[in-house]
Amino acid sequence: MVRTQRRLALLALAGSALALSACGGDSGSSAVTVPADADVVINSVSGIQWEKKEYAVTADGSPVLIATQNLSNEPHNLHVRGGDGVEVGTPLDTPEKNDIDRGEFDLAVGQYTVFCSVVGHGNMKATLTVN
């Protein structure tokens, strides 16, 4: 009887491990990661804010690749606005925790404001300086 209960317990444990690995587990094989070729990575963090207040990137005449990852439990997006008040490029969207989005932005040398337009996230502003 005890031997049968142990076998059932081991089978249940093995089945649970198999189910967890099928759901993503820690294998990392299907995990989405921030692109290594990003010129700048701008992360949203808890407290409805960007990870930093200032970011910098060097322009080489080609579009700037911006990546963003949502490290908080709130939905976020990332807009880039020039000093003239005009938005540049297509906003990036990270509605769920750990979501990653990336995009290329045609940015001339200067300062830009990076912001989130989700209602209530008005304090999510950072400066992006392009040298």
pLDDT of residue 106: 96
Residue 32's pLDDT band (cuts 50, 70, 90): low
For residues 13 and 36, what is the distance between their CA atoms, to the nearest angstrom?
37
- Which of the residue ranges 14-18, 59-63, 77-81 would you say has the lowest mean pLDDT? 14-18
Global pTM?
0.75
Closest listed residue to residue 57, CA positions, set 33, 41, 81: 41
Residue 23 contacts residue 31 (beta carbons within 8 Å): no
Higher pLDDT, 5 or 114: 114
Mean pLDDT (whole number) for 27-55 = 85
Higher pLDDT, 59 or 3: 59
Give the model's pLDDT for residue 31: 57
* Helix/strand number for the chain, H first, E second: 1, 10
The pLDDT of 106-122, averaged and rounded, is: 97
Give 117 or 29, the one with higher predicted confidence: 117
